[in-house]
Amino acid sequence: MEENNKKKTGLIIGICAGVVVIAAVVVLLLVFVFNSKDGTYTASQDFYGQKVTLTIKVNGSKGTFSYKIGDEGETQKFKAKWKGDTLQMEVDGDVSEVKYDKKNKTLTIDGDDFLGEDIVLKKK
């Protein structure tokens, strides 16, 4: 009888532990998916009468930076690396940094690096 109770107790503890582990994995996956910095960020602004559209797409260690000024545009591939809240974009050995804002889910290009004004790209 006592051995039967031990088996039942062990089974109950095993089931509870399994449920806790599964719940923890689900929570971690949800946190990762919803807090991921990867994605597509865009901004459109007028500069000197021309509409400028910027797009940064980040997916793991790869990304693209696209710009369009009026009807002309270009896309550049880059190697992506996150260091805290800074995205490092490497193209041909040159590294540019873009700041990430967790609260607003935006990337900010420093104005000293591009057209003299800070540019905020919002996540789609």
Q: Each residue of 41-94: pLDDT tens digit?
A: 888 888 778 888 889 988 888 889 888 888 888 898 999 988 888 889 898 888
How far is it, in rounded angstroms, from Cα 67 to Cα 42? 10
β pairing state of 106-109 and 86-91: unpaired
82: closest CA among 61, 68, 102, 110? 61
What is the per-residue pLDDT for 46? 82
The CATH architecture to which 39-123 belongs is Beta Barrel (2.40)
Q: Retrieve residue 45's tokens.
A: 């602004």
Task: Delimit the domains of the chain by residue range.
Answer: 1-35, 39-123
85 CB-side CA count, 13 A: 12
Q: Each residue of 84-97: pLDDT tens digit?
A: 888 898 988 888 88
